[in-house]
Amino acid sequence: FPLNLTADCNAVLKALQPIFQEQGMTETVHNWEDHGYLATYIKKNGSFANLRIHPHGLVLVDLQSYNDHTKGREEVDQLLNKVEERMKELFHGNIKRVKRLPAILRGGVIDRYWPTADGRLVEYDIDEVVYDEDSPFQNIKILHSKQFGNILILSGDVNLAESDLAYTQAIMGSGKEDYTGKEVLILGGGDGGILYEIVKLKPKMVTMVALNIDQMVIDGCKKYMRKTCGDVLDNLKGECYQVLIEDCIPVLKRYAKEGRMFDYVINDLTAVPISTSPEEDSTWEFLRLILDLSMKVLKQDGKYFTQ
Amino acid sequence: FPLNLTADCNAVLKALQPIFQEQGMTETVHNWEDHGYLATYIKKNGSFANLRIHPHGLVLVDLQSYNDHTKGREEVDQLLNKVEERMKELFHGNIKRVKRLPAILRGGVIDRYWPTADGRLVEYDIDEVVYDEDSPFQNIKILHSKQFGNILILSGDVNLAESDLAYTQAIMGSGKEDYTGKEVLILGGGDGGILYEIVKLKPKMVTMVALNIDQMVIDGCKKYMRKTCGDVLDNLKGECYQVLIEDCIPVLKRYAKEGRMFDYVINDLTAVPISTSPEEDSTWEFLRLILDLSMKVLKQDGKYFTQ
């Protein structure tokens, strides 16, 4: 409850404390004077509540309980309804906002919280841990979401879900390119999505170069992300494609030296790409090296796609 | 920290308490016996921590502080690093998972938390409140997100963002329909997205029927969701379209009686549609009425699209 006015901390405490005491909760109050009050309410069943009253006008209520029963949730709702009612009686129109957040579930077998790369909290509707393995380089998880299908998560970073065909289509040029009879080079793309979609379009030859640190990613995807990769990862070679488990830098150098040219280079490496033998000092220099080498193996009317 | 074994609550408390005490925090311990321990640590600056130790093997740490400075976050990270280190010393390989969630920001001017319809917690990268009005029927918010552009939120439910062209394209038939010279009826669609996209395709006439309770939605969208609706909501009539601010049921009945027929009916009403004069008892009956009436105004080779 952010308020439009400063709060009389003692008045708030006196107004709300009966609600917790009616639940048979034991109160402990800490008074900071300058920084307001913290009241902790403890219930016999192991639940507890924190009531934090900031004198400049902010009242926060946290409830924590070990309980996954619906009954527990209903009790929580009833308690919060009473708190809301009492606060409205006390402050009338001076409550800026009443916000109740969904319960955060911790300690369960399934972890539903996968923050975004920019640190935002996102809860997914995960209902199954499909794959969970540690490679020497990273943790590889594939979790099933009702909304998105199987989701590939590398060391906590959400990479791609089976429903993310739009990502693959976008990095392929949003359906505006004709891949028929073309030579294509994919850098990275260990989930097999781009390879699978391009192979459908009758290219001459697609070469995908993925690091060996991705081997376990490929193993997981070929088994559990088949909506994304179909059967293209089952074998590392097909009629019109090959998968090289190698660092892309030496491969690009070799192709450049041999004069091997492509109609399309699709760079699907991770945002901060990994090399097994980095020769460049900074990430930017490394990104430039990949771009320079890609240009060298691109036909004059060729196209380069990346995120 | 979910553990693989039962926890000696007292040993955990003894191991972790120096970390909090080094910060000059005052400890209060509650011992439930059967349900483990709750230790509350209070700092002079108004911050506090809860350490909850469940005897079956779950240790939870919550930190709460009033502080939006980077310094505060660094302090929190350092404290949590120490807790993690000490826990690993204590339990070695018996910690199932260590999970640190991003801080939840409460009480600020901008509310970043907009749970999904199925109650999952999602934090958006909102940086501006663009529009915030209460109509007699609902609260209408348009918030700016760096990722999604302006987002329309009706009474707390995320409706549509400016980046959601894919939704509009999907409900129009995913680019597979030819709307040139066609008669189209849109039910709902107050954000103007469908109308704007179809008008571009040179239809004969598009009629959109939106309830008057949506007038403030239309007002907000026409000003702040222009990437979605362009200029089609500026006037309720254009060369090849008209917007009727009416309940769709009587309009559909009138059209059916008059024998007015459409090539396409696109139902973009809310998941639980609202009528100003409901004659049906249940939501399902109401949905069926809309479907039946829609079929009556649809040409024999016409198409009906909905979510």
Q: What is the largest CA-CA distance in chain B?
A: 82
Residue B282 has pLDDT above 60, yes or no: yes
Chain A contact set for B2 (CB, 8 A): 106-108
Residue B122 has pLDDT above 70, yes or no: yes
Do B174 and B291 share a domain, yes or no?
A: yes
Do A78 and A170 share a domain, yes or no?
A: no
Distance from CA of A289 to the nearest CA of B (A): 29
Best residue in A48, A61, A169 to probe B by mutation, most B CBs within 10 Å? A48
Has residue B181 been placed in a domain? yes
B105-120 tens-digit pLDDT: 998 889 999 999 889 9
pLDDT classification of B70: cutoffs 50, 70, 90 = low
Q: Which amino acid is located at A183 in the chain? A: E
Has residue B110 been placed in a domain? no
Q: Give the residue numbers of A annotated as catalytic, written as ranges.
A: 268
Has residue A254 been placed in a domain? yes
Has residue A155 been placed in a domain? no
User: How much is the pTM?
Assistant: 0.88
Do A76 and A188 share a domain, yes or no?
A: no
Domain boundary among the residues A51, A67, A91 is at A91
Distance from CA of A94 to the nearest CA of B (A): 14
Choosing from B164, B214, B263, B268, the catalytic residue is: B268
Distance CA B172, CA A291 (A): 39
Q: Number of CB pairs < 8 Å for A and B?
A: 116
Distance CA A205, CA A182 (A): 7
Q: Which amino acid is located at B173 in the chain? A: G
Q: Do B30 and A42 touch (CB under 8 A)?
A: yes
pLDDT value of position A108: 87
Distance from CA of A253 to the nearest CA of B (A): 37
Has residue B46 been placed in a domain? yes
Do A168 and A302 share a domain, yes or no?
A: yes
Q: Examine the residue annotation and report whether B164 is marked as an active-site residue of this protein.
A: no
Note every long-range contact of A153-158, with CB atoms under 8 Å and residues 24 or more positions apart, other chains counting: A153/A114, A154/A217, A156/A114, A156/A115, A157/A117, A158/A114, A158/A116
The structural domain count of chain A equals 2
Residue B89 has pLDDT above 90, yes or no: yes
pLDDT value of position B68: 61
Q: Do A123 and B124 touch (CB under 8 A)?
A: no
CATH of the domain at B183: 3.40.50.150
Has residue B119 been placed in a domain? no
pLDDT value of position B67: 73
Sign for the pseudo-dihedral over CA of B8, B12, B13, B14: positive
**Nearest in space to B103 (alpha carbons), one of B83, B74, B131, B142:** B74
Mean pLDDT over B196-217 rounds to: 90
Residue B271 has pLDDT above 70, yes or no: no
Nearest to A66 among B54, B115, B121 (CB): B54
Q: What is the mean pLDDT of chain B?
A: 92
Q: Do B124 and A121 touch (CB under 8 A)?
A: no
Tokens 């240009």: give the residue: A295
Structural domain range at position A56:
9-91
Which residues, 6 or more positions from A108, have their beta carbon under 8 angstroms from its beta carbon?
Answer: A68, B2
**Which stretch of DSSP H or E encloses residue B18?**
helix B9-21
Domain boundary among the residues A32, A66, A91 is at A91
Do B178 and B293 share a domain, yes or no?
A: yes
Residue B153 has pLDDT above 90, yes or no: yes
Q: Do B54 and A48 touch (CB under 8 A)?
A: no
Do B168 and B301 share a domain, yes or no?
A: yes
Write the secondary structure of chain A as one string of H (helix), E (strand) and C (coil): CEECCCCCHHHHHHHHHHHHHCCCCEEEEEECCCCCEEEEEECCCCCEEEEEEECCCEEEEEEECCCCCHHHHHHHHHHHHHHHHHHHHHHHHHECCCCCCCCCCCCCCCCCECCCCCCCCEECCEEEEEEEEECCCCEEEEEEECCCEEEEEECCEEEEECCCHHHHHHHCCCCCCCCCCCEEEEEECCCCHHHHHHHCCCCCEEEEEECHHHHHHHHHHHHHCHHHHCCCCCCCEECCEEEEECCHHHHHHHHHHHCCCEEEEEEECCCCCCCCCCCCCCHHHHHHHHHHHHHHCEEEEEEEEEC
Task: Please state, for a pLDDT cut of 90, what percent of chain B lies above it.
Answer: 78
Residue B22 has pLDDT above 90, yes or no: yes
pLDDT classification of B279: cutoffs 50, 70, 90 = low
CATH of the domain at B67: 3.30.160.110
Q: Do A101 and B115 touch (CB under 8 A)?
A: yes
Do B174 and B283 share a domain, yes or no?
A: yes
Q: Do A2 and B107 touch (CB under 8 A)?
A: yes
Nearest CA in chain A to B33: A46
Mean pLDDT over B80-104 rounds to: 95
- Residue spans of chain A under pLDDT 50: none
Do A85 and A215 share a domain, yes or no?
A: no
Residue B69 has pLDDT above 70, yes or no: no
Has residue B20 been placed in a domain? yes
Distance CA A224, CA B268 (A): 35
Domain boundary among the residues A91, A117, A141 is at A91
Has residue B117 been placed in a domain? no
Residue B126 has pLDDT above 80, yes or no: yes
